[in-house]
Amino acid sequence: MSSTVGLFFWGFLLVYGVLMVALSPRAVTLGGFFNGEDNQGRSAAPWLLTSSIFISWIFAKSVTNAANLGASYGLIGGLAYAMYWLSIPLTGFVIYRLRRRYAATGLVSFLSSHYGRGAALAFSAAILIRLFNEVWSNTAVVGGYYGDAGSLEFIGAALLFTAVTLAYSLRGGLRSSILTDAAQAAIFIVALIWVLGLVLPQHSPSELASTSHWALNAGVDLLLVAGLQAFSYGFHDPVLTDRGFISEEKTMRRSFVIAGVLGFFAILAFSLIGVHAQLTGLAASDNVPAALAKTMGIGALMVMTVVMVSAAGSTLDSTFSSLAKLAGRELPKLAGRDLGQKAIGVGMAVMVVFALLGNLPMIAGTDILKATTISGTMVIGLAPVFILHGLTTPTRMGFHLSFWTGLGLGVALTLGWIPQSWAIGDGKYALLLGTNLYGLGLCVLGYLIPGWFNTHQRGAA
């Protein structure tokens, strides 16, 4: 990258940061910092909530993974990754039910009330792991547009991006995140249309479809994995679930449905960039969009950089606001304390800590797809807890059998302890598919059996 072009790219990152800070209000009330309310105490407008849910889940790592999978498996790869976005409407419907029927005000407090403090703490730990992963997996994608993994340019860009995002997140918490999300969504959509306009006219629909083969070892196994994980994936992401409790129930449900459908098609569309890369014979890599853009000239690389920075920024600021809420409000309440206005200061301090520690895996170098597939397996035990709640008597044992079974299987899969006999098919994701299918069945049984037993005992008494 020439010095002139390099200055332009670095200048864009700085201008982006200044623009986001300018758009971000200073939230000094608890309602503004933690619930996204305006200065008059009003909830975020429906269109703001919808755009925030949409762009917050269009992670930089997600659009990169979608393109990588499109390059590897064709349209099936993109469809497989887009399946995760169907968990947004499902999560919205479940939260709607929990709010209407059980007066839930948040998932952590809901678990504490129905399954005990231990369940709430275990769930909070899973959330912290998720949020930690969101930091490095998104900053790493941005760094990839400024240099090779591990290079000074790569690390410097990732850290600068983290710093500018942290700066405006500290100003306004969730209110800043929601308002800047609207601008980031607009930037993302315009840039995505521009990028697709560069590559799609080069291929006919039949040519694009020819890259897919409906076989387990050709990406269908990952499609099925995503379908299974969609039942639980949304519940362990406070970036999504925090937005389920800040507006009227029906407004929230409608926003979740619209954002999920839009996200599904946006991810599927972006995977076509990977399909184009496959058709043109581009060498496989862990960042297909960046590699492709570099072959198409500086203009394409700049537009792709804009796409990734806007996508990563919307997720990272939401990650920081969710960390602040968990540390400043929800965990203290589990301990029986209300920090009052001090909660904002605690939340800001935790933002800074995670901004520093959360980038360590990025510096060390880690596969960003693992942040989705492995964590998705670890939380399959959340599906029965939230979806089946009320079907039988809620029990603490039921929660822990379901939750820890899923977590244990995820860890065992990571360490290579799952027997090969669990594999379904012979594709790359055969063992992942088997673990999720059989594991989800075990989690459902683990959740239901103690409840049924408890109900039977009460009936006999």
Q: So what's the pLDDT on residue 17?
A: 86
Q: Quick check: helix, strand or coil at residue 392? A: strand
Q: So what's the pLDDT on residue 1?
A: 52
Among the ranges 69-78, 154-163, 195-204, 395-404, which has the highest mean pLDDT value?
Answer: 395-404
Alpha carbon distance 323, 346 (integer Å): 10
Question: Looking at 167-171, 200-204, 274-278, which range is the least confident one?
Answer: 200-204
Residue whose C-alpha is closest to residue 125's, from 379, 374, 383, 324: 379
Checking 425-428 for CB contacts under 8 A at 24+ apart, the result is 425/216, 425/217, 425/221, 426/216, 426/217, 427/215, 427/216, 427/217, 427/218, 427/219, 427/220, 427/221, 427/222, 428/217, 428/221, 428/222
Chain mean position to CA 273: 21
Q: CA 3 → CA 7, 13, 143, distances in Å?
A: 6, 15, 17
Assign residue 78 the CATH number of its domain. Answer: 1.20.1730.10
Question: Looking at 68-72, 92-96, 249-253, which range is the least confident one?
Answer: 68-72
Instruction: Give the residue-averaged pLDDT of 211-215.
Output: 88
Half-sphere exposure (CA, 13 Å, Cβ side) for 407? 15
Residue 88 falls inside a structural domain:
yes
Q: So what's the pLDDT on residue 6?
A: 66
299-341 pLDDT, tens digit per residue, is 778 888 888 888 888 889 999 999 999 999 999 999 889 999 9
Half-sphere exposure (CA, 13 Å, Cβ side) for 144? 29
Q: So what's the pLDDT on residue 232?
A: 94
Between residues 428 and 7, which one has the greater pLDDT? Answer: 428
Instruction: Give the residue-averaged pLDDT of 281-309.
Output: 79
Residue with tokens 């500290």: 170
Instruction: Give the residue-averaged pLDDT of 127-133.
Output: 88
Instruction: Give the residue-averaged pLDDT of 111-119.
Output: 96
Half-sphere exposure (CA, 13 Å, Cβ side) for 98? 26
Residue 43 falls inside a structural domain:
yes
Residue 132 falls inside a structural domain:
yes
pLDDT band at 26 (very low <50, low <70, confident <90, very high): confident
Q: So what's the pLDDT on residue 352?
A: 96
Alpha carbon distance 408, 412 (integer Å): 6
Is residue 54 scored above 80 in pLDDT? yes
Strands (E), 3-107: none
Question: Using CB atoms within 10 A of its CB, is residue 276 exposed (0-12), middle (13-18) or buried (19+)?
Answer: buried
Range of the domain at 334: 3-366
Q: So what's the pLDDT on residue 209?
A: 84
134-188 pLDDT, tens digit per residue, is 898 888 888 888 888 888 888 999 999 999 999 999 988 999 999 888 888 888 8
Instruction: Give the residue-averaged pLDDT of 25-34.
Output: 86
Residue whose C-alpha is closest to residue 230's, from 79, 445, 42: 79
Alpha carbon distance 237, 128 (integer Å): 9
pLDDT band at 460 (very low <50, low <70, confident <90, very high): low
Among the ranges 2-6, 196-200, 381-385, which has the highest mean pLDDT value?
Answer: 381-385
Is residue 461 scored above 80 in pLDDT? no
Q: So what's the pLDDT on residue 303?
A: 81
Residue 418 falls inside a structural domain:
no
Residue 287 falls inside a structural domain:
yes
Average pLDDT of the chain is 89
Q: So what's the pLDDT on residue 147?
A: 83
pLDDT band at 4 (very low <50, low <70, confident <90, very high): low
Question: Looking at 116-130, 293-307, 361-375, 398-412, which range is the least confident one?
Answer: 361-375
Residue 176 falls inside a structural domain:
yes
Q: So what's the pLDDT on residue 374?
A: 56
**Residue 320 token pair:** 């920081």
Between residues 294 and 131, which one has the greater pLDDT? Answer: 131
Residue 399 falls inside a structural domain:
no
Instruction: Give the residue-averaged pLDDT of 110-126.
Output: 95
Is residue 247 scored above 90 in pLDDT? yes
Supply the DSSP string of 85-107, one letter for each residue.
GGHHHHHHHHHHHHHHHH--S-H
343-396 pLDDT, tens digit per residue, is 999 999 999 999 999 998 888 766 555 555 557 888 999 999 999 999 988 999
Question: To the nearest whole percent, how much of the chain has pLDDT over 90?
Answer: 54
Output phi, psi for 439, to 5 deg.
-65, -40
Alpha-helical runs (H) found in 280-336? 288-295, 298-325, 331-334
Is residue 70 scored above 70 in pLDDT? yes
Among the ranges 255-264, 268-277, 355-364, which has the highest mean pLDDT value?
Answer: 255-264
Residue 214 falls inside a structural domain:
yes
pTM above 0.85, yes or no: yes
Sign of the torsion angle spanned by Cα atoms 275, 280, 283, 285: negative
Alpha carbon distance 47, 45 (integer Å): 6
Is residue 30 scored above 80 in pLDDT? yes
pLDDT band at 459 (very low <50, low <70, confident <90, very high): low
The number of folded domains in the chain is: 1
